[in-house]
Amino acid sequence: MNTIQHLINGELVAEGSASLPVYNPATGESTSCVDVASAQTVEEAVRRAKEAYPAWRNTPPIRRARIMQKFVQLLEENADEICALIGQEHGKIRHDAMGELQRGIENVEYACGITELLKGEHTRNVGPGIDAWSEFQPLGVVAGITPFNFPVMVPLWMYPLAIACGNCFILKPSERVPSSTLLVAKLLHEAGLPPGVMNVVNGDKNTVDALLDHPDVSAVSFVGSTPVAESIYARASAAGKRCQALGGAKNHAIVMPDADLDNAVSQLLGAAFGSSGERCMALSVVTVVGDSTADLLVEKLNTQMAALKVGGCQDDSNDFGPVITAAHRDRVVSLITSAQSQGASVVVDGREPAIKGHENGFFVGATLIDHVKPDMESYQQEIFGPVLQVVRVDTMAQAMQLINDHEYGNGTCIFTRDGEAARYFSDHIEVGMVGVNVPLPVPVSYHSFGGWKRSFFGDLSAYGPDGVRFYTRRKTITQRWPSEAVREGVSFSMPVMK
């Protein structure tokens, strides 16, 4: 069986002390195993990164940018292999994997502009013969801990920008989907990255803890569930590290009576069921204003869901694939069952899909649940599966109150033709990423990604302008070269301009 290794100082490193199985979720079979990094392996990765940092920090940004430009080219040239690995370990259909890769590439393209992004600020003559300027300098060795649901895109949110800013990086990818992440890291080295600047250590919680506790790791980026995000933020912050930790979500859409329902249905299907609903930006709740609108929306959803196809990643005609593990499949099914037992109506039931040739896979079919109430377990929890729940309300104000009262504040959307309603919604909804007739308002690479409330822990969001600020620290320099014209005597007062 193939063993996926670590990548340290530009070389593959094997460690035989412990390993974890890696599964193909479409078949339920273990296809490989992944090494678990010990504390000693993490120490070696940090040491190599620390050794590489001085030279990389002093590498001109234009040279860093050229490596990123070559990296983009290699990602595009190897797209088929990358997406095949995503499919084998995540179950994502090829067209969805291609979309993930493209969004990741866009973040590398943003990092290619690092010469512009690192420009500081300069003011001449802030005082007599005194100039002042700000520089944005790298932090040192930084780390990223990434989830299973986007094995390529989320790491590309992190390390291209961190490295372009002059840092050295250690990535701990999800142990469930390590192969595509490792291949992409190898391509970055092929693009010309010096050894030690980018390292990959695979593993489990102990590996994560070793990174969080290491005194030479200056910052940590994380994407995952809210309980883990909160724990990582607390532990990293207590250790004096800068941290951004992105957590879970319960994303609502509001459908107004004046909405284009046919468009809303098409958009909701993709946003709810794409990638089996295993997206932190998936729309899992549609809050419909008015029973007549809800009846019509549920009818249209029911009709169109009959045509959805779920299956293996190799068939590009499939709409989505399996969920990540058997345990997660069982959890999703149990939440569907709990909604039904608490009084909701299961309109389309995906609990027992028949997938020919994949009888042992971890599949849940597209599921639609109507008459969901806020006190139900399925509403309160993040399901993270192909389940769309319908909550009926009488007014837009009630719909917004539901969203604002929820502990999560990641993404939301309103479907309407009313500009005034859309503007009011955008101004007053307590959510970090908002769409108007756009169900997945994931910011493009030159904006920044981050939710509110218990969906995000930290001060600076992921990628984009916030990413540059997260991976650098400002240094302000005030300089004077004394001359006869500006020479001053002793002063004990606070310096001011008169």
Look at residue 483 in the predicted model and tell me its pLDDT: 79
Tell me phi and psi for residue 284, to 5 degrees. Answer: -105, -10
Q: Please identify every residue annotated as catalytic.
A: 280
Cβ contact 144:212 at 8 Å: no
Q: What is the pLDDT of residue 189?
A: 98
Q: What is the pLDDT of residue 87?
A: 97
Q: What's the full length of the chain, in residues?
A: 498
CA atoms within 13 A on the CB side of 359: 2
Identify which of 288, 283, 276 has the alpha carbon closest to the alpha carbon of residue 412: 283
pLDDT at position 422 is 97
Q: Provide the angle, in degrees to the nearest 10, between the axes of the packed helices 94-111 and 153-164.
A: 10
- 183, 85 in Cβ contact below 8 A? yes
C-beta separation of 259 from 268 below 8 A: no
79-90 and 61-77 helices, crossing angle to 10°: 70
Do 10 and 41 meet the contact criterion of CB atoms below 8 Å apart? no
Residues 49 and 199: beta-carbon distance below 8 Å: yes
Residue 162 is predicted with a pLDDT of 98
- On whether the CB atoms of residues 479 and 308 are closer than 8 A, the answer is no
187 contact partners, CB below 8 Å, separation of at least 6: 71, 74, 75, 78
**The token pair that represents 97 in the structure block:** 């994997």
Taking the C-alpha atoms of residue 127 and residue 487, their distance in angstroms, rounded to an integer, is: 12
pLDDT for the residue 204: 95
Q: With beta carbons less than 8 A apart as the criterion, state whether 212 and 239 touch.
A: yes
Hey, CA dihedral for 174, 18, 188, 92, is it positive or negative?
Answer: negative
Q: Cα–Cα distance between 242 and 471 in angstroms, integer? A: 9
Structure tokens given for 410: 């990641």
| 159 contacts 144 by C-beta, under 8 angstroms | yes
The pLDDT of residue 485: 64
pLDDT in tens, the chain (498 residues): 789 999 999 999 998 689 999 999 999 999 999 999 999 999 999 999 999 999 999 999 999 999 999 999 999 999 999 999 999 999 999 999 999 999 999 999 999 999 999 999 999 999 888 999 999 999 999 999 999 999 999 999 999 999 999 999 999 999 999 999 999 999 999 999 999 999 999 999 999 999 999 999 999 999 999 999 999 999 999 999 999 999 999 999 999 999 999 999 999 999 999 999 999 999 999 999 999 999 999 999 999 999 999 999 989 999 999 999 999 999 999 999 999 999 999 999 999 898 988 999 999 999 999 999 999 999 999 999 999 999 999 999 999 999 999 999 999 999 999 999 999 999 999 999 999 999 999 999 999 999 999 999 999 999 999 999 999 999 999 999 887 766 677 777 777 766
Give the domains, in start order, of the chain with CATH numbers.
Answer: 2-247+455-477 (3.40.605.10), 251-436 (3.40.309.10)
Residue 86 is predicted with a pLDDT of 98
Place of tokens 């290794």: 5
What are the beta bridge partners of residue 35? 19
pTM of the model: 0.95
